[in-house]
Structure 1
Amino acid sequence: MAVHLVGMPIFYGSDRFGANFGPDKFREMDILSALKELGYDVKDLGDIEVADVSEQDKYKYHEKMKYYDAIIDANTRLAFKVYSSIARGHFPVTLGGDHSLGMGSIAGVSKHVKNLGVIWIDAHGDINTEETTFTGNVHGMPLAASMGFGPDKLVNLFEHRVKVKDENVVLIAARDLDDGELELIRNSNIKVFTMDMVKDLGLERVIEESMEYLKERVDAIHVSFDIDSVDSIYVPGTGTPVGDGLTADQARRLLQAFAASGMMSSLDFVELNPVLDRNDITADICKELLVGFFESLNISVKDQLMLG
């Protein structure tokens, strides 16, 4: 089994320039060598091609959603790349880029793992639709689309089907949820641990309950990690920072616990924006978290999924 790194240099979902430089920042920090030192066979598959669209044209293909066609095109390319990796027995890691890429990565993984579980670690729900969005930013919609909520082109990206059942989704660290997202949560089966719940229950219990909930329901787990899940005082280099979040240590413990579960099939690491960062504070935390994840990774699920 090899670890396959896939860059997704896209900022269209957030409409905040700079997230597109995230993948190259990871390369600049030499994440490949760091993972190789841990004993992994690591391959950089390069970047997904993202169309060049002018700001004036961002509503050209949809009156409510920005950069609509370009996001769909890039995510379809990403889905194919991720599927090709996991179907050949490897572990795909998508480096963002904004969180709109979650549509493509989940579409690719779920083509191989039909009964997929998703752990979405994020300050936001990312479960808006074109009817509930206040911004038109598609990075607020990928989880909804993956669960079958939203416009057909997003829901049926790559394959005409729902990519993950809502009851197979766990959302952790949310603290900035729109009214439409709260309504969707009330009317769905998503398991949610808001940041207030993380504080009340304690991180270890959140980890335990998340894994107990998913292990009986799914064949493998995809983790989609947004650096804005971490409190904004620690991570200035992200496009939609939110206070009162996880500490960097809590984020590390979360990622390492899920990595060690033996259920992991794939990972997203998103929303690093080097343009907004200060003295590489956020970039350094991102590298530490990603290396910590791979220090703990147990890939026993590969046997039943033929992942290597």
Structure 2
Amino acid sequence: MTGVFCLGISTLDYVYSVETLPTRGEKYRSRGLAVVGGGCAGNASVAIARLGGRSWLATRLADDVTGDQIVADLASEGVETDFVRRVAGLRSPVSAILVDAQGERMIISYSDPDMPEEAGWLPSQLPDGVGAVLADTRWGLGSLAALQMARAAGIPGVLDGDRTPPHPDLVATASHVAFSAQALAELSGEADPRRGLARLAKDAATWLAVTLGREGVLFVEDGEVVHTPAFPIETVDTLGAGDVWHGAFTLALAEGQGARAAIRFASAAAAIKCTRFGGRTGAPGRDEVLAFLAAAG
């Protein structure tokens, strides 16, 4: 079974369904509640497992009840948690998330500022069966170590650039980087994502893309910026969609799919997720994605 080694943040999310996002300091009533694991790498690792890939997660948690719940949820999804580090005396990451009737979300997150940054406890080489690596931007030294292992192994190393990379070598070390629109704008200095991507691509050997939600994906191919539209859906909840996209994209690369096919596969997985409330609880299985793609033509 082809697998992906994921590294980055894993959280416990309290997801509230509301009619509209709050604008004033008042009491509001939630229409629904999901308590579910979250975080970029955590969500991606679960998405990979649901899509039929083997999934490892390296993450930093506290030795607390929240951490226990995060690990138990990951294990229940089939994610291998041998590389989860538990640190005594700290707090594991948590988020309070509001999702409105249009599927847009507001996130308030907490990560313990005293969580150790050093990455010396990570393995010196990847586990057998890893066909690609996926890292997020929440732990720079750890992500750099994971991407360096991917490069040494000669396999794809994907960076989820949802925030500006915290280490200057991350983009160059990755084989593939998919930015959020905000991170791309901050890094390139361009408000327009097409111009921003083109600007970064001039000096980069790394494959570059930017995910734009309902506007699809822009990516660089043979020096040109190419657009792939998103699948039309009725959006219920966008929470975790980007993480599912990155997990599915990396798994597809690990399986030997080309970038275009991987984008299509990932976009279908993310689209299905957006039709369901509850963050990563809406991540689809492999058969669902294949049926969705077949119906889309």
TM-score (norm 2): 0.40
Q: Flag the structure with more relative contact order, 1 or 2, with Cα contacts below 8 A and sequence separation at least 6.
A: 1
The answer to which structure has the higher strand fraction is: 2
Which structure would you say has the larger Rg? 2
